[in-house]
Amino acid sequence: MRRTLRAKPRVVLLGLVAAAAAAVGLAAAPAQAATWSSGDQWATWSNGGYTLYNDVWGSGAGPQTIWANSYSNWGVWANHPNTGGVKSYPNATRYVGRKLSTLHSVSSGFNVSVPSSGAYETAYDIWDTNNAYEIMLWMNKTGAVGPLGTSQGTVSVGGSTWTVYKGSNGANAVFSFVRTSNTSSATVDVLAVLNWIRNTKAWFGDITLGNVQFGYEITSSSGGLDFTTNSFSVSSS
């Protein structure tokens, strides 16, 4: 989702935004014919109860084009320079809107094709409705990227083994679960992770689950790289 919801501190000069917007217009077309595509930095598209966001929010970003055939099959071509700092988080978002105590299950599955170069992670970004708590699930990472906060050790929960980091971006608490081995395909028991934070660690209470986002947090993709979501879904009950 657009990173204003993520509330990370940032300063973007108007000149940089204008330059990035102009560059986005030069972005390459998707490698396949798609139902929808856009090079606009804030492009959005709704389908099947999900919303897709191009979300080119970081300072110094290059061109990026998002395309989609459905909420489950979409991708981006991105050409961000080899500099530090997150440039974008193209993602698909599903809103839940229920307290954890009322949920019986929240699960998600995905399958992606990602480049072997660049600096990025494939990640879930999960929020409560007040945007006070951010829970990131890093499914794979490549290049010089790392989570906020300090390590809290390792835990096996939700179908994976993770190194857990606890920190803050200055506006909200951030809990990052970094998978100990990269994967391009998995099923995640999201509710199990959230209940571990709530019941085992007591880092938050009975929050209302808001947006469950899945996408690519890209720091650099110099020369132009393709990120493809072959399938993705979120289910809750």
**Catalytic residue positions, numbered:** 134, 217
Phi and psi at 154, nearest 5°, equal -115, 145
Q: Is 134 helix (H, G, I), strand (E, B) or coil?
A: strand
The CA-based angle 132-133-136, given to 5 degrees, is: 145
Q: 58 pairs with which residues across the strands?
A: none
From CA 94, how far away is CA 52, in angstroms rounded? 9
From CA 43, how far away is CA 81, in angstroms rounded? 21
- What is the torsional sign of CA 85, 88, 94, 96? positive
CB 47 within 8 A of CB 27: no
Q: Is 21 helix (H, G, I), strand (E, B) or coil?
A: helix
Q: 179 pairs with which residues across the strands?
A: 162
From CA 66, how far away is CA 131, in angstroms rounded? 25
From CA 153, how far away is CA 233, in angstroms rounded? 29
* Residue 97 vs residues 126, 162, 189, 199, 212: alpha-carbon distances, Å: 12, 26, 17, 20, 10
Distance between the two ends of the chain, CA-based, in angstroms?
A: 23
